[in-house]
Amino acid sequence: MNVNHFLSRFDGQSKLLIRSLLSGVSGAHRALDVFRKQQRTNPELSSWTNLVDTLCRDEVVYPGTDGRLTVKALVCLFPALFKQNLLTFIYLIHSLLPKAAVLRLLQCLSQDSSPSPWVSALTTQLERNLGSLNKEHLFTPVCRGRLEELSQRLGGDTGGWAECFSLETEESQNTPCLLELGKQKKRKGNFDILDSDEEILQQSKRLKMEESRSGHVHAEEVREERLDAEEPAQESNQDHLPDDMKVAEKLEGDASNEVTGQDNSCDFLPEHIMASALQIKELLESQTEWDQSSTDVFQVFNDCDPKQVEVLCSMLNLSDIAEQTLPKLCSSILALSPDLSFSTAATLIKSLLLQRVLSLTEPASRCLVTVVMSLCSRYTRSMCHALIGPLLQDESLGNAQAELLNKLIEGCLDSHYTLLVLQITFKISWSEPVLSVIHSLLDSKPDINEELFTQLTAQLVCQGPRFIKSMNFAKMLLTILTKYASFVKPPNKQSLSECLMIHETFLKKSLQAALKRIP
């Protein structure tokens, strides 16, 4: 199904939420960010109401080759990952939403003839949270059978885990089934209900190590059983559904590493991601031109969670790829649809550019400047987090890095991000390259307020004595006294006057004259 065919049916704000929910495994959190911004400007939740109305709209579809028409809600025609992200997003904010609208959407999703296990489990859990007396299990019959078999291998006791799968056991609406698993007795002690992910991780690792040593369950069997058990695993931490997947994946990777005695990061990645990683590595090492099919392989970054992106970038060793390959790689990243999430883009930018830029001893090449500016224009927030901030905070920042930062400030950063970078400079020790960056930031005239100007003045007074002969410091002061004169109040004026008293460049008289002209 071509999702873009249906986007025209949504209004502007709804489209933003839809695109966020389509943006891979992090779609729920991206949608949450968009929703919060929309709620600040429109607290009446009209964007949510419009979204539900459109998703519940009837659509005429062909179910198969029999040629007969059927009617389904529009939401049923979207991919399974979108539905999973949508339900996770609703789960996180359902207390803020109209109950009737949520139930209406869940009713429409029930029209889906073959829902994924995740969608079924999330739908059931949401219905319970909204007061429904739905007694269905949150896991499939196949998963239930696997878990029963695993519980017998681990202990063989009729209590503990086995009680979770008894049809006669009444299931509490508020206490997830998996919390009861914490009561399972080990051979050498008790499992208490654990309050932190770290404790859960350690207990699970020890379990899997015991299984391996005793020969009951081999590492491959544990991996297979965990994949089938992912469906109910979301209940063990209802407030952070997406984190459950990350914890489960971390458990698998750590347990496998301990059994083998090696740090096999490749084993952490699913097979389809590993296959794409090998294709990308071949592309990066090849000298041929990339066609459209070559570019499409980078879509795998939209299918990875943050930890998988880190492993993938480490495998590809992006910081060491040839500079002539950078433009092709950059074009492929910019061509991805939907755009990368903030965390994915930040990880990519850090892996690809940070060490490369830090190692500069002369001005960056035109190729590198073009790549950095192109990525910054599309992923500005990620660039500030992964490259600009770390560069400013690095004590080895030199003129080559400062020159590149100044080009980004002049060509890519709007007022909001200029202010963000300026605030970073308040928290670091200044140097000559940092002074040139601050001058560029101020010269772009961001929408500074009195509070930020007061912080800036305090930094001038505090760090100024080290730069009494610095032309960069003098130019920065001149910009402040001419472009920001309206912010100079009597207290600020007194502080700036004291700062100028010890200044020793030839611009001292010009600076004092500019200060005197301020009423």
Q: Are 488 and 496 in contact (CB under 8 A)?
A: yes
Quick: pLDDT tens for 346-389: 999 999 999 999 999 999 999 999 999 999 999 999 999 999 99
The pLDDT value given to residue 57? 84
Secondary structure letter of residue 198 according to DSSP: H
* 343 pLDDT above the threshold of 60: yes
**Residue 152 burial by CB count (10 A; 0-12/13-18/19+): exposed, middle or buried?**
middle
Q: Which helix (H) or strand (E) holds 280?
A: helix 271-285
Question: Rounded CA gap, 409 and 425, in Å?
Answer: 14
Q: Are 84 and 31 in contact (CB under 8 A)?
A: no
Predicted TM-score (pTM) of the model is: 0.51
- Give the pair of three-digit tokens for residue 317: 């060793």
Distance of CA 75 to the CA centre of its chain: 25
- Give the pair of three-digit tokens for residue 361: 């001893």
Domain boundaries, the chain: 4-129, 141-263, 271-437, 448-519
* 398 pLDDT above the threshold of 90: yes
Residue indicated by tokens 């992090």:
26
Q: Give the confidence band of 24 by pLDDT, cuts at 50, 70, 90.
A: confident
Partner residues linked to 185 by β-bridges: 190
Q: Are 250 and 201 in contact (CB under 8 A)?
A: yes
Phi, psi of 171 (to 5 degrees): -100, 125
CATH architecture, domain 271-437:
Alpha Horseshoe (1.25)
* 487 pLDDT above the threshold of 70: yes
- Least confident window among 61-70, 133-142, 196-205, 454-463: 196-205
Q: Is the dihedral of CA 112, 91, 253, 190 positive or negative?
A: negative
Q: Which range among 194-198, 226-230, 416-420, 490-494 has the greatest average pLDDT?
A: 416-420
Q: What is the DSSP string of 110-124?
A: TT-SS--HHHHHHHH
Question: Rounded CA gap, 164 and 27, in Å?
Answer: 32
3-state secondary structure of 68: coil
Q: Is the dihedral of CA 161, 167, 172, 177 positive or negative?
A: positive
Q: How many CB atoms lie within 10 A of CB 519?
A: 8
Q: Is the dihedral of CA 411, 412, 414, 416 positive or negative?
A: negative
